[in-house]
Amino acid sequence: YKAWLQNHHVEQPELREALARWSGSIVASVHTEVLDTAVKELALGIKQLYGEKPTVSKVPQSETFIYVGVADQLDKSFGYLDKSEIPRVGQEGYILKHVVREQHSILAVLGETDRGALYGVFHLLRLMNMGVQLEHLHIVERPRNQLRMINQWDNADGTIERGYAGHSIFFNENQIVEDMTRIKDYARLLASVGINAIAINNVNVNEVETAFISEEQLPAVAKLADVFRSYGIRLYISIHFASPMELGGLSSADPLLPEVREWWKMTAACIYDHIPDFGGFLVKADSEHRPGPFAYGRDHAEGANMLAEALEPFGGIVIWRCFVYNCMQDWRDRSTDRARAAYDHFKPLDGSFHDNVVLQVKNGPMDFQVREPVSPLLGAMNQTNQMIEFQITQEYTGQQRHLCYLIPQWKEVLEFDTHAKGKGSYVKHIGDGTLFGMKISGYAAVSNIGDDENWTGHTLAQANLHGYGRLVWNPDLTAEEIAEEWIRLTFGNEEQVVRTVADMLLASWHIYEQYTAPLGVGWMVAPNHHYGPDVDGYEYSRWGTYHFADREGIGVDRTDKSGTGYAGQYFSPNREMYNQLSSCPDELLLFFHHVPYTHKLQSGQTVIQHIYETRFTGAERAEWLIQQWTSLEGKIDPERYEQVLERLQEQAEHAKEWRDVINTYFYRKSGIADEKGRTIYR
């Protein structure tokens, strides 16, 4: 269960010696729940790394030791640092510093709060794992983003919506589990990469989960909150908008009715009785058949503000999702465009949300495809709190049977310049709230874990969970740095392993893109479960997800001039870039334009030849992943080696299926042969 918290035993004598100096003794003079967690984690980590448990004491017992503490409460037992020497690091930041005073040599881990100290401990353990020299250490860190959240899509019956790694670790047979061991391990993993918030149940809230906010269920929910609290993580609940009816027996859930508002206020008070630091509600409303304010002729601000008012006295927040679109569209209707929906619904409401509401916007306008443009809603509301939603679980990116390392994709999103406030208005500055000075901002991502022994089904998919946490802690880390760190912590420091696995991870998103839907058009997956190719699977459906391939060409015209006008939702010059065929990036061409198969891309290739070329290359590169992995035989423990190999083999086979289905489909539509005469089934 240890994933990246393996703390592999350090064998090299030089490293042992360098670290042995400090690893014998931990001093912690202040006690809080989270600080105690930090000390326990450090002691455990050191024991795993060096084989011996350090002593833990309130006052120094030797000349070298590790001090774990809270800067504001530095007391006399730790007189080696003056408070004035300690920079302000904020609620969650920390300082790692090697302090030499007289005969003492101390490694200090100091937070301004206990949570900061906990993150500092995990950082120190990472350094120890990676064999970094600790002499003269001086690191000052603080997270760039406020909310660093995980969304579980777990259902009370133990199933997980879009889960590919077994059953829920939270719920079983409509009960919250009693044995919290696995949940605590999960909290450790999350805290170790800086996660500070979790919504424990699916945004699609069914009957049983609706009652999580009831007097009867709250004691059990509070036990979950206890586990997460000790790791600095706040608990949130996804709620059912019609709870006043479902639970409260009212005849309406109209957000403007006094009795409905009163019901939410009472409910909030009751929640805070049980969970004093409860984070708030996550809400999917008027989306994919979920109830919401529309049923009462109210808008989303009215819905969200009602909840916000109930939570406000307790410091809670409402996280309101913007995944709102018409999922009952008629494919014959060419004027409705799902990509426009979030912007069209929410942009007009800018400025009408309470300041404890934050809108959660998916990174793209459609739904977590392997390639989408950045959502034009990001940055479009300068008077409304926004946060960004990613999907770690690989719903459309291979379902943890295919390798698809998503950090490079998210990096591109964060580095996208929205131009919302002129040049340099990067998405990462919407995420960190600085672009418009937002009170609440940050990130949420849908988790990819279940009760599988390795957490994520595919062992290498662990890297996406780790990477999400690290990236939203500091968006300026590179995908390479994050990948390398994960590999070292997970598989050890052998250079060949590090290099090879890093190459695999970093290439995998493009490889997956190459053999699946081309040029940003998306979908082309089997309906419902979304695994494997089905080019027309969504073509005549209600979901608004079309590619419009005919015998002449393919793509969705979303331009201002002749299309749905979606491109016009972007700020200049992005609007013009996407509107014009000549400047639209190749990888998004079919998202914005309908073009003939013979259209020449900026790369110089025709669209049809690009389709063939990338399918063939993608399938070959899936084979390359196997070669890379097998070169590591003997260097990775047999269990993980075999498990990953098996999945890579499945992926390579499945990539051929994708290649052939897509190639044949477009050959049949276009009648144009591959320039290189490779096999395309007719």
* Sites of contact with ligand GCW (CB under 6 A): 153, 161-162, 203-204, 284, 288, 323, 367-368, 395
CB closer to ligand GCW out of 268 and 446: 446
CB closer to ligand GCW out of 400 and 490: 400
Whether 367 is a known active-site residue: answer yes
**Preceding omega of 596 cis (within 30 degrees of 0):** no
Cα torsion 69, 70, 76, 78 to 10°: value is 40
Least distance in angstroms from the C-beta of 646 to ligand GCW: 26
Point out the catalytic residue in the list 367, 389, 432, 513: 367
Half-sphere exposure of 412 (CA within 13 A, CB side): 13
Q: Among 401, 521, 375, which Cα is nearest to 460's?
A: 401
Look up residue 56 and give its DSSP letter: E
Least distance in angstroms from the C-beta of 569 to ligand GCW: 20
Q: Tell me how far apart the alpha carbons of residues 591 and 587 are, in angstroms, rounded to a whole number.
A: 9
CB closer to ligand GCW out of 114 and 367: 367
Look up residue 386 and give its DSSP letter: E
CB closer to ligand GCW out of 267 and 287: 287
**Preceding omega of 573 cis (within 30 degrees of 0):** yes
Q: Tell me how far apart the alpha carbons of residues 156 and 578 are, in angstroms, rounded to a whole number.
A: 43
Cβ atoms of 466 and 4 within 8 Å: the answer is: yes
How far is CA 256 from each of CA 253, 304, 540, rounded to the nearest angstrom?
9, 11, 39
CB closer to ligand GCW out of 230 and 448: 448
Whether 453 is a known active-site residue: answer no
Q: Among 551, 572, 663, which Cα is nearest to 615's?
A: 663
CB closer to ligand GCW out of 37 and 393: 393
Provide the terminal-to-terminal Cα distance of the chain, rounded to the nearest Å: 48
Point out the catalytic residue in the list 63, 75, 273, 288: 288
Q: Among 97, 118, 123, which Cα is nearest to 108's?
A: 97
Q: Tell me how far apart the alpha carbons of residues 672 and 669 are, in angstroms, rounded to a whole number.
A: 8
Q: Tokens 């206890």 map to which residue?
A: 226
Q: Indicate the residue whose CB is closest to ligand GCW.
A: 367
CB closer to ligand GCW out of 307 and 644: 307
Least distance in angstroms from the C-beta of 540 to ligand GCW: 18
Point out the catalytic residue in the list 112, 209, 395, 587: 395
Cα torsion 498, 504, 506, 510 to 10°: value is 180
CB closer to ligand GCW out of 153 and 390: 153
List Cβ neighbours of 31 (8 Å cut-off, separation of 6 or more): none
List Cβ neighbours of 226 (8 Å cut-off, separation of 6 or more): none
Q: Tokens 């998405």 map to which residue?
A: 427
Q: Tell me how far apart the alpha carbons of residues 626 and 200 are, in angstroms, rounded to a whole number.
A: 36
Least distance in angstroms from the C-beta of 292 to ligand GCW: 12
Supply the DSSP string of 640-682, one letter for each residue: HHHHHHHHHHHHHHHHHHHHHHHHHHHHHHH-PPPTT------
Whether 395 is a known active-site residue: answer yes
Q: Which two tokens stand for residue 125?
A: 């353990």
Q: Tokens 């490694």 map to which residue?
A: 107
CB closer to ligand GCW out of 395 and 485: 395
CB closer to ligand GCW out of 64 and 206: 206
Kind plus residue range of the DSSP H or E element containing 123 = helix 114-129
Q: Tokens 């062992």 map to which residue?
A: 459
Q: Tell me how far apart the alpha carbons of residues 539 and 494 are, in angstroms, rounded to a whole number.
A: 48
Least distance in angstroms from the C-beta of 368 to ligand GCW: 6
Q: Tell me how far apart the alpha carbons of residues 586 and 578 are, in angstroms, rounded to a whole number.
A: 10
Least distance in angstroms from the C-beta of 310 to ligand GCW: 23
Q: Tell me how far apart the alpha carbons of residues 68 and 117 are, in angstroms, rounded to a whole number.
A: 7
Q: Tell me how far apart the alpha carbons of residues 410 and 364 are, in angstroms, rounded to a whole number.
A: 11
CB closer to ligand GCW out of 323 and 616: 323
List Cβ neighbours of 52 (8 Å cut-off, separation of 6 or more): 23, 24, 46
Look up residue 491 and give its DSSP letter: H
Q: Among 311, 387, 302, 309, which Cα is nearest to 352's?
A: 302
Residues recognised as catalytic = 288, 367, 395
